[in-house]
Each structure stands twice: as structure tokens, then as C-alpha cells.
Amino acid sequence: MVVPSPNHPIHNQKERIKSIGVPVIDLSNKRSIVSDSIVKACEEYGFFKVINHGISKDIISNMENEAHDFFAKPSREKLKAGPATPLGYGIKNIGFNGDFGEVEYLLLHTNPHSISQRSKSISNDPIKFSNVVNDYIEAVRDLTCEMLELIAEGLWVPDKSIFSKLIRDVDSDSIIRINHYPSSLQHMSNNNNRIGFGAHTDPQILNLLRSNDVDGFQISVEDGVWVPVPSDPAAFYVNVGDALQALTNGRFSSVKHRVLTNSNKSTRMSMIYFGTPPLHACISPIPELVTPQKPSQYRPFTWAEYKKATYALRLSDQRLNLFSVQ
Ligand code: AKG
């Protein structure tokens, strides 16, 4: 990880992240260094890049090929996998409350039974599709859980699985989203940069994003200041979600992000694994991070309650505020 020296002349986060880039975590480094670096990145940015992650190129390219095949289908075929309310194929409409983006997407629950049911309307070879997606899900789930265990170690929490067990649970509500930003969706406009996916934080625990080599992803490290994150198909980008912000009593921040598309450029495609607790799981700040100096910032809530709040609000709304005790 690139760490600025304490005497670095750059004072604010925006200038720091612009000059040194987003934190890079090399998973082949010594475990204690990795866990400290991840905790620092989650505290400062709620965001980092992971290299030497150990997920095979085949698992990633098989998944990417299935996604390409799906998005290359004629519209009427793709629409058979929709509408994405809440799961399936969606186009332009994001969520239930009037948010739009220059994007088409597939949203899948990670439960193998659900994948197998959905695959029939997505692929001409549903068994192959299910196998490829399940292999990808298993790999990204393991990587996400590994990082959550490193986080617990870096926070000196005795139960190393305190966060990861929520995602490993058989009833986990985790999802996979595949976003495709084709230039055909973009209208002619004087301003070439258009919103592909509007500004938002993710509601879940920890999320893993992998994209092709087309840029467009940005994070906001200060209100209203957007920092472009260069794409890197060999790496994963990881972001803290609202639920992990609550579990860490606000020590980690759920980073705001968005995607801009540019009609002059090639098509961006991204795949995001959203590590999510079961519906019945109770989210509340873990006792190790609640002190007299820093009392609980959030009231306990179930994932089902939080999901309901998410569905009821716009993409850019700060839903976690509803559960704040301040
Ligand atoms: C999301 O799907 O929540 C995103 O933020 C989109 C990121 C991307 O497509 O690169």
C-alpha cells in the first residue's frame, strides 16, 4: 500500500488521493501488514484496490464471457429476464423510485437455487451459465470473507469471523450485479460525460467490483469532489457498505461512488459482488467499538428493515441517517 509520509505537504483527502491514487492492498504481503493496511484504507476512504487476490483468470473471464453473450442478445430476448424489480434484467431504470442511468444490468441473488431458476431466461445453455456464475460467486465470496477476517484482525476483535459469518450464512442475501454501459444507450449531447450510475453508497457490508478496461468509475472523498478511479481488469476494487459503517460504529465510512459514461469511448462492463447479511441478521455496532468516548452511533436494525428503507428511498439518499441515534 502507498502510504504518504506524515510530512507530506498534501493536507486534504482529495489532494492525497489524487496524487498517490487509491490505496492498493497486495494480498501476498505479510498478514499483519495487510490487515493494518485494509483497516486504514477503510477508515480513510472506505475504498481500496486489491492485487494478488488469487482468483483465477479463467473464473473471471468465463463470467465476463457469459455476461457479454447475454448483453449481445436482441432487446426482446434480454427483456425476458426482466424486469429487475428486484432481480433480473433492467435497463435505465435503477431501483423503484425514478432513478435513471445510461446502463443495462443483470441483478442476481447468489443463492444457487435462484441462479439455476433465473439462468433459464438468461442463457441458451442454462446449466453452463449456472456453473460459471456459481464458480465466480464462490471465489468472490471467499475473497470478501478473507478480507472481512483481516479487518477483524486489524481491529483486534477476538472473534475473527464476526463480519464474515454474516456473509457465509446460508441465508445470506448477497447479490451479484453485472452492469453494461453501451454507447447505444447514450443520447447525443453537448456534454459527452453522462451519468451511467448515479451517486450512491452501497447498503451492504463489503462489496467487490471488477471491470473491463473502460474507465468511468469515480469516488467522492469529499462532498461534491469526484476522483476518477482508473480501471484495472486484473484487480478488484473493494468498498465499505453502509452495514459495515454501522457495524464499526462509524469507524469505517461507506464511500459514495458513481459511474460516468462517455459516448466516444468503448463500453464499460462491471461485475459487483455485494456481500450481504441474512434478512433476519441484526446490525448494530460491535461491542469492541463502542466506548464511553464513542457511544453507539446507530440503533440496532435488521437487514430486512434496512433493505426496506433502501427500496423506499432514492439512490442518493443517506439511508443510514434514519438509523442514527444522533
Ligand atoms: C453499482 O452497481 O452499485 C455501482 O456502483 C456501479 C459500478 C460500476 O458499474 O462500475
Residues 71-110 have pLDDT tens digits of: 999 999 999 998 888 899 999 999 888 899 999 999 999 9
Confidence (pLDDT) at 4: 41
Rounded average pLDDT over 188-192:
55
Q: Is the confidence at residue 142, as pLDDT, over 90?
A: yes
Residues 83/106, Cβ–Cβ less than 8 Å: no
Tell me how far the alpha carbon of residue 276 is from its chain's centroid: 10
Residue 275 host element (H or E): strand 268-275
The band of 20, judged by pLDDT with boundaries at 50, 70 and 90, is low
Q: What is the pLDDT of residue 3?
A: 38
∠ CA 78-59-176, nearest 5°, is: 45
Q: Please, which pLDDT band fits residue 221 given cuts at 50, 70 and 90?
A: confident
**Cα of 190 vs its chain's centroid, Å:** 31
Cell digits of residue 184: 447505444
CA atoms of 199 and 258, how far apart (whole Å): 4
Based on its alpha-carbon atoms, the radius of gyration of the chain, rounded to whole angstroms, reads 19
DSSP class of residue 182 equals: -
Mutational pocket test of ligand 1: of 210, 270, 310, 319, the residue with most ligand atoms within 8 Å of the beta carbon: 270
Ligand 1 contact, 178 CB (< 6 A): no
- Mapped onto helix, strand or coil, the DSSP state of residue 48 is strand
> In this predicted structure, what is the pLDDT of residue 15?
67
Distance CA 204, CA 163 (A): 12
Residue nearest to atom 5 of ligand 1 (CA): 258
Sorting pLDDT into bands at 50, 70 and 90, what band is 10? Answer: very low
Q: pLDDT value at position 210?
A: 98
Interval 247-286: pLDDT, tens: 999 999 999 999 999 776 689 999 999 999 999 999 999 9
* 3-state DSSP assignment of residue 146: helix
Catalytic residue among 16, 141, 194, 268: 268
**Which 3-state string (H, E, C) describes 135-183?**
HHHHHHHHHHHHHHHHHHHHCCCCCCCCCHHHHHCCCECCEEEEEEECH
pLDDT of residue 39 exceeding 60: yes
Would you state the cell numbers that stand for residue 4, as one nine-digit string? 504518504
Taking residues 133-152, what's their average pLDDT?
98
Q: What is the pTM of this model?
A: 0.93
Does the pLDDT at position 8 exceed 70? no
239 lines ligand 1 (CB under 6 A): no
Q: Which of 140, 157, 185 is nearest to 275 (CA)?
A: 140
- 435497463: which residue's cell? 91
**Ligand 1 pocket, residue 237 CB under 6 Å:** no
Per-residue pLDDT, 52: 98
Spatial strand order of the sheet with 47-51 comes to 24-26, 47-51, 236-240, 206-211, 268-275, 175-181, 99-109, 88-94
Separation between Cα atoms, residue 260 and residue 102, nearest integer Å: 9
Would you state the pLDDT for residue 1?
A: 39
Decide: 270 in ligand 1 pocket, CB within 6 A: yes
Report d(CA 50, CA 34) in Å as an integer.
Answer: 10
Residue 21 — very low, low, confident or very high, per pLDDT cuts 50/70/90?
confident
% of the chain with per-residue pLDDT over 70: 90
Q: What is the pLDDT of residue 185?
A: 64
Q: Quote the pLDDT of residue 182.
A: 87
Average pLDDT, the chain: 92
- Could you confirm whether 268 is annotated as catalytic? yes
Does 6 score more than 60 pLDDT?
no
Do residues 203 and 304 make contact, with C-beta atoms less than 8 angstroms apart?
A: no
**Contact predicate 324/296, CB 8 Å:** no
By 3-state DSSP, what share of the chain in percent is helix, strand and coil, each rounded to 5?
Answer: 35, 25, 40
**78 and 93 in contact (C-beta within 8 Å)?**
no
